[in-house]
Amino acid sequence: MTTRLKQILLVSVGIVGAAIMVMLGLWQMQVFVDQGNRGVADRAAQPPVPLTDHLGDAGAVGDIYGKQVTIVGRYLDGQQELIPTEGGWRVLAAFEIADGRILPVVRGLASAPSPLPALPAGERTEVGLFLPGEGDPEPGTVGASAAPGELGSVRMPLLAQRWPQQLVPGFVTLSEPDAAQHGLAKAPVALPAGEGAARNSGYALQWWVFAAFGLGMAIKLAHGLGVRERRAQEAAALASLHTDTTQGAGPASADRKESMS
What phi and psi values does residue 113 have, to the nearest 5 degrees?
-70, -15
- pLDDT, average across residues 245-256: 56
Where are the extended beta strands (E) located within the chain?
49-50, 67-85, 88-97, 102-110, 124-131, 171-174
- Asked whether residue 257 carries a pLDDT value surpassing 60, the answer given is no
pLDDT at position 33 is: 59
- Per residue in 161-189, pLDDT (tens digit) is 888 888 999 999 999 999 999 999 999 88
Q: What is the pTM of this model?
A: 0.61
- pLDDT, average across residues 241-253: 62
- Per residue in 64-107, pLDDT (tens digit) is 888 899 999 999 998 999 999 888 999 999 999 988 999 999 99
pLDDT at position 197 is: 47
pLDDT at position 172 is: 95
Number of Cβ atoms within 10 Å of the Cβ of 90: 24
Least confident of 77-91, 149-163, 211-225: 211-225
**Is the torsion defined by CA of 133, 139, 142, 145 positive or negative?**
positive
- CA 163 from chain center: how many Å? 34
Residue with the bigger pLDDT between 119 and 135: it is 119
Instruction: Give the closest residue to 154 by CA, choosing from 123, 130, 177, 175.
Output: 130
The answer to whether 73 and 124 have CB atoms below 8 angstroms apart is yes
pLDDT at position 203 is: 61
- Asked whether residue 142 carries a pLDDT value surpassing 50, the answer given is yes
- Per residue in 13-60, pLDDT (tens digit) is 878 888 887 787 776 666 665 555 566 667 777 899 999 888 877 667
Angle in degrees, 0-180, between the axes of helices 3-44 and 198-260, rounded to the nearest 10: 170
> DSSP code of 189?
-
d(CA 8, CA 113): 68
Instruction: Give the closest residue to 75 by CA, choosing from 97, 54, 60.
Output: 97
> Which neighbouring-strand residues pair with 38?
none
- Asked whether residue 227 carries a pLDDT value surpassing 60, the answer given is yes
